A and B are shown apart, each in its own frame.
Chain A
Amino acid sequence: MGQVLSIRVIVNGHAHDVLIEPYLTLIELIRDRFGLTGTKKSCDMQVCGACTVLLNGRPVSACTMLAFEARNASLLTIEGMAQGETLHPIQEAFIEHGGLQCGFCTPGMILAAKALLEENPAPTEAEVKHYMRGNLCRCTGYKRILESIMVAARRLAQTHNHGAPEA
C-alpha cells in the first residue's frame, strides 16, 4: 500500500485538509484536486513561469514542487488575487496597459509581480526585468508587461501612503 500524507494547506485564505501521495506535484494538487485551473502547466521544467504560485509569499514553480511542501503553508494562486469583484491593482494595471495578449502567461506574471512588489515596492525597470526574467510570454508582450508592473508599483505605493495616517 502506498504512503499517504495528511496535510493542511491554506489556499487563497481558506484552510483545506487533504490526503496526498508524496509524489504528487503542487500543480496537480492545485488543478486536479482543488480545481483551480488558473495556474497553467506549460514547460513542466521550471523555465517558463506559467505555473508560478506564491507559497508563503515566495514565488515557486508549481510544476516542479512536491505538493507536501505546501504543508501548513499559505498558498496564493491567481484565483485568490481579487477581493470578490474587485480586482487587485496589479490585475487592473495589466488590463489597462495591455499587459496581456493571449493570457496564458498572465497568472504567473501577476503572481511573480506581486512577490516582486512585496519584496521591493519601488523597483527600477532593470530590477523588474531581472526579477521577471524567468516568466516567459510567447506573445512577446514584454514591454507592456513591464509597463503594467511599473504602474502597479506606483499605484500600490499611493494606496499605502494614503492609508498611513501621517502621510
Chain B
Amino acid sequence: MLPPFALEEPTSVHEASALLARYGETARLYAGGTELLLAMKEGLLRYERLINIKLIPELAGLALADGALHVGATTTHRGLERSAVVRAHFPALAEMAAHVANVRVREVGTLGGNLCFAEPHADPGTLLLVHDASVALAQQGGARTLALAQFFVGPFEVALADDEILTAIQVPALPAHTAAVYVKYGLLERPSVGVAVAVTALPNQVQAVRVAVGCVSPTPRRLWDVEGLLSSKEVPAVRATLDTAGALAGSAADAVTDLHGSAEYKAYLVGVLLRRAFEQAYQQAIGETPSDAARGRGTA
C-alpha cells in the first residue's frame, strides 16, 4: 500500500519546473518509480504530489550527433540495451544496461531517474564517468550542462536546484583505439562493487586509462591517481603495475562497510575487478574482442 498522493502530469519541462517551484519539497518528479515507489512504500519518503514526467516529449528519445550520444532522461535501461545505435557505438553502455537489476526494472526504470535518485549501489553512473558524460539540466529560467562527476554530491543527493530537471545525458564518443568495460560483483539484488575502465591502446602500448568505481563509496568516482599509474606505458609495465594500482584503487575508493560487505572486502574486490576490466578493455581496444579471437582461431 502506498500512502495517498496527488498526480500532476505536465507536458513540458517548463511546466514541470513550475510545479516543482510551486510545491517545493512536498512534490517529487516521478518517471519509472523503481526506486521512488519502493522508498514510499517503506515510508522512507513521503510526498503529497508526484509529477509524472513521462508525458514530456523533450525528455524522450535517443540520438547520435557528431559521434556523441544524447540520451533523453526518460529513456529506460531496456531502451538503451535494445537500441541498435547504442549497441553499435557504445557497446559497454548497452551491455551495462542489459545487466541492471532484472528485466522488469529495466523496462520501466529510466537512466535519468537512476542518476537523480543517486542510490550508491547502482551501475550506470560508474560507467558514464569513464565516458566523460555530462548531464543537461533545465529549469524555468534557463538551462546548463554539468559534468556527471559534479552532479553526484552524496548518497541520494545530486546537484539539482529545487526546480531543476535533468533533461538528458550527453555521452561523448570515446577517443580512437579506446574501449570501455564495466564489471561488477554482488550477491544481492544490487551490485556490491562496480568498476569501469576505458583503455586507449595500440598493441602493446597503453596510451591512457580511465578508471571509475561505484557502489563501494557514497558516490561513484573517477580515480585520477590510479589512471596516472597506468597510462602511457607498455603493456607488460601496465600489467606489472596493476597490483599496486588495484591496492591504490581499493583505498582510494573509500569503501564503506554495509550489508554488501566490509570495507576491506570491497576494497579488495575493487583491485580484482580493476585487473579484469583492464584486460577486457585492452583486448577490445586493440581489436581483439573475445569473439574476434574465437573467429581467428577457427580460420587459422
Q: Does B103 contact A (CB under 8 A)?
A: yes
Please tell me if A21 contacts chain B, counting CB pairs below 8 Å: yes
Q: Which residues of B contact A3 (CB under 8 A)?
A: 6-7
B189 touches A47 (CB 8 A): yes
Q: Which of A107-154 contact B (CB under 8 A)?
A: 112, 115, 130-131, 133-135
A68 contact set on B, CB distance < 8 A: 7
State whether A65 and B101 are in contact (beta carbons under 8 Å apart), knowing that A2-B4, A22-B50, A23-B3 are contacts in the complex: no
Q: Does A61 contact B (CB under 8 A)?
A: yes
Listed by A's residue number, 22 A-B pairs whose Cβ atoms lie within 8 Å are A3-B6, A3-B7, A22-B7, A23-B4, A24-B2, A25-B2, A44-B41, A46-B34, A46-B102, A46-B105, A47-B102, A49-B102, A49-B104, A59-B107, A60-B104, A60-B107, A64-B37, A64-B38, A68-B7, A112-B103, A133-B103, A135-B102
Q: Knowing A46-B38, A66-B37 are in contact, say whether A61-B7 is a contact too (CB < 8 A).
A: no
| CB of A58 closer than 8 Å to a CB of B | yes
Cα distance A47–B41 when bound, in Å? Answer: 15
Q: Are B2's CB and A134's CB within 8 A?
A: no
B257-277 residues with Cβ-Cβ distance < 8 A to A are none
Residue positions of B touching A, CB distance < 8 A: 1-7, 33-34, 37-38, 41, 50, 78, 98, 101-105, 107-108, 189
Q: Does A95 touch B at the CB level, under 8 Å?
A: no
Closest Cβ of chain B: how far from A82's Cβ, in Å?
23
Contact yes or no, B103 A66, CB < 8 A: no
Please measure, in the bound complex, the distance between the C-alpha atom of A66 and the C-alpha atom of B105, giving whole angstroms: 14
Task: Flag if B37 contacts A59 (CB, 8 Å).
Answer: no
CB <8 Å contact, B105 and A65:
no
Bound-complex Cα distance A5 to B7 (A): 9
Contacts of A5 in B (CB 8 A): 7
Interface size band for A = 20 to 34
CB B295 to nearest CB in A, in angstroms, measures 18
A112–B107 CA distance with the chains assembled, in angstroms: 12
B38 & A58 in contact (Cβ 8 Å cutoff)? no
Closest residue of chain A to B4 (Cβ to Cβ) is A23
Cβ-defined partner of A134 (8 Å) among B5, B6, B38, B102: B102
Partner of B105, one of A25, A44, A112, A134: A134
Question: How far is it, in angstroms, between the C-alpha of A65 and the C-alpha of B33 when the chains are bound?
Answer: 7
B176 → chain A, closest Cβ, in Å?
32
Indicate whether A52 reaches chain B with its CB closer than 8 angstroms. Answer: yes
| Max chain B Cβ within 10 angstroms of own Cβ: one of A61, A68, A130, A133 | A61
| A45 at interface by CB-CB < 8 Å | yes
- In the assembled complex, how far is the CB of residue A127 from the closest CB belonging to chain B, in whole angstroms? 11
A47 to B189 Cα, complex, angstroms: 7
**Nearest residue, chain B, Cβ from A5:** B7
CA distance A130 to B2 in the complex (A): 31
List CB contacts (< 8 Å) of A87-121 with chain B: 112, 115
What is the distance, in angstroms, from B44's C-beta to the closest C-beta of chain A? Answer: 12
Minimum CB–CB distance for B235 against chain A, Å: 31
Cα distance A2–B7 in the bound complex, in angstroms: 10
Q: Across the interface, do A21 and B107 meet the contact criterion of CB distance under 8 Å?
A: no
The reply to whether B5 and A52 contact each other, CB–CB distance below 8 Å, is: no
CA A2 to CA B37, docked complex, whole Å: 19
> Which residue in A22, A47, A60, A65 is a CB contact (below 8 Å) of B6?
A22
Q: Bound complex: CA of A2 vs CA of B6, how far in Å?
A: 8
Give the shortest distance, in Å, between A167 (CB) and chain B (any CB).
28
Distance of A131 Cα from B1 Cα, bound (Å): 28
**In the complex the two chains form, what is the Cα distance from A111 to B104 in whole Å?**
11
CB neighbours of A112 from chain B (8 A): 103
